[in-house]
A and B are shown apart, each in its own frame.
Chain A
């Protein structure tokens, strides 16, 4: 990075807008923001991963989920579970703007797969413990980074914005691996829904709880932030009155249409299972 001041990341913008705090935790990495802030009549825990040009792990300086980020997310989620073990389980809000997992030799050696698993485990455990876990996609939700931070949520919300992307691999890398050009890949995404990067096509898969239109993702107004708070609250309340697994991702109207194969596999496997 050069000496110019860098623009705040989407994760940071939304973290600050929703909590009124910068979320830097003393003794913790500056790349993981944590804060408890009001949501409706209760307090919710907000978490975000943001770029940190000073990150002591060089391969995790641009908003990637690296070793420290993933283990720290696990810590901050688990401390919430422990704190609420005998009381109301507060909502946990994952603000998702993650470019990828950290790619590096050291990361592999030190078990980044386990670190990201630990974060996913913590979120899943929170969900099973009765915390409404809500992911709000405000930027990129890429691959293993999204698995670690957001994909275990009861409900996934997303801003309808061109900068909100979901995918298993960055465009350039996916083009190289599949021996296609980026342009070909984009064209393919128009007809083959799961290949697409944009959030409107992703919404057709039925996994999103809600695609929220008409919000400035880079510079939200006070009114827009308030609207998002309302959406988070509604999603948390919906999660509380539903089973604590991920089945809602298969029951939406969009999923009935575009995840028909998933539904059919489950129907027939269940049938054959009980027949044995």
Chain B
């Protein structure tokens, strides 16, 4: 592959978004100088369940909620910090996200056009808080469905953890999904599938295979993600602004029941299917 010189320059000067902490990611998406964190570490709201299991909690429970502006409009970003417990969703972490989305909805009901952004970097439910993690993910999902009637709910999966478990459903409920090539989006993590269904079903160590099935580029190519963007903080911030400029989709992806049932009916599960073959079926330019 040949690389044009301007691209190389851009590559050398870009700021990796993946390498940023959740806090810095949230700040990078908000208009300069507008970042204001809510329930920060000094509020000392940590998981009540981790210390009972000998695990050191973190004072923000791995979720940053920040208010600010996007394109001059009020905004809220909820960003998951994958460095803490793999970005897993416990009671406090999940309640922060759910409540932020509910407050954004209340803003809209009062005429304040708050723009919601989720930065999803998570393995899903935190198993040490299993049932409360699951319960709060259901509440996040409920909040997204109620909020996206007013405003697009925009999600970014940048990598390197990806977005799995119940939070992959939350990602799928969002109005606009932005991914990088490094991102992965799947319901069951590859390791879980290998454990549950065996090595012959999926070799979780085969990274090339995993990305060909659930990687950001593949998800975008088959229409399960909306924007594919480079790992560049400025480019991601621009794609978030662009998602809000586009406004609400005519129909959310998770409402397209007829289309996906027809697509499923056309699949023969007795025949092998890989990422490339699916692009031919569902990708842009494929026969409807």
A128–B145 contact, CB under 8 A? yes
* Given A103-B192, A124-B146, A265-B96, 11 further pairs, Cβ under 8 A: A56-B269, A74-B254, A75-B261, A100-B196, A116-B187, A143-B125, A144-B187, A168-B134, A168-B165, A249-B135, A276-B38
Question: Nearest residue in A to B219 (C-beta to C-beta)?
Answer: A111
Is A108 part of the contact surface with B, judged by Cβ < 8 Å? yes
Per-position binary interface string of chain A over residues 232-276, scored 1 when its CB falls under 8 Å from any chain B CB and 0 otherwise: 000000000000011001000000000111101110111011001
Report if B2 contacts A (CB, 8 A): no
Chain A residues within 8 Å of B47, by CB: 261
Q: Once the chains bind, are B257 and A75 in contact (CB under 8 Å)? A: yes
Which of B10-18, B169-177, B236-244 is the interface stretch? Answer: B169-177
Given A75, A110, A194, A268, which contacts B267 in the complex, CB threshold below 8 Å? Answer: A110
At the interface, yes or no: A227 with Cβ under 8 Å from chain B? no
Task: List, in ascending order, chain A residues with CB within 8 A of B160's CB.
Answer: none
A110, B173: Cβ atoms closer than 8 Å:
no
* Contact (A124, B214) CB under 8 Å given A108-B193, A114-B260: no
A143 to B196, CA, bound (A): 14
A262 and B136 form a contact (CB under 8 A): yes
Whether A276 contacts B36 by the Cβ 8 Å rule is yes
- Nearest residue (CB) in B for A56 is B269
- Contacts A168-B125, A272-B39 known; A108 to B142 CB distance under 8 Å? no
CA distance in complex: A276, B68 (Å): 10
With a cutoff of 8 Å between Cβ atoms, the chain A residues found around residue B80 in the complex are none
A210 interface residue per 8 A CB criterion: no
- Asked if A17 lies at the interface with its beta carbon under 8 angstroms from chain B, I say no
Q: Which of A144, A176, A270, A276 contacts B99 (CB 8 A)?
A: A270
Could you say which interface size class chain A belongs to? 35 or more
Q: How far is the CA of A128 from the CA of B124 in the complex (A)?
A: 25
The answer to whether the Cβ of A107 comes within 8 Å of any Cβ in the partner chain is yes
The 8 Å CB contact of B255, one of A121, A265, A276, is A121
Given A109-B278, A194-B129, A194-B131, does the pair A264, B45 have CB atoms closer than 8 Å?
yes
Q: Is chain B's interface secondary structure helix, strand, loop, or mixed overall?
A: helix
- CB pair A270–B91 under 8 Å, yes or no, is no
Q: Are A174 and B130 in contact (CB under 8 A)?
A: yes
Residues 170-208 of chain A, each 1 if its beta carbon lies under 8 Å from chain B, else 0: 100110111000000000100111111000001001010
B interface footprint on A41-56 (CB within 8 Å = 1, 0 otherwise): 0000000000000001
The distance from the CB of A25 to the nearest CB of chain B, in whole angstroms, is 13
| Shortest Cβ gap from A90 to chain B (Å) | 19
Segment at the interface with B among A2-10, A64-72, A217-225: A64-72
Please tell me if the beta carbons of B45 and A268 are within 8 angstroms of each other in the complex: yes
A166 contacts chain B at the CB level, 8 A cutoff: yes
Q: Which residues of A contact B45 (CB under 8 A)?
A: 261, 264-265, 268
Find chain A residues with CB under 8 A from B39 CB: 265, 268-269, 272
Whether A125 and B103, one on each chain, are in contact in the complex, defined by CB atoms closer than 8 angstroms, is no
Task: List the B side residues contacting A193 at CB < 8 Å.
Answer: 131
Cross-chain contact B269 with A178 (CB below 8 angstroms): no
In the complex with contacts A169-B125, A261-B92, A121-B278 CB distance below 8 A: no
B127 CB to nearest A CB, Å = 5
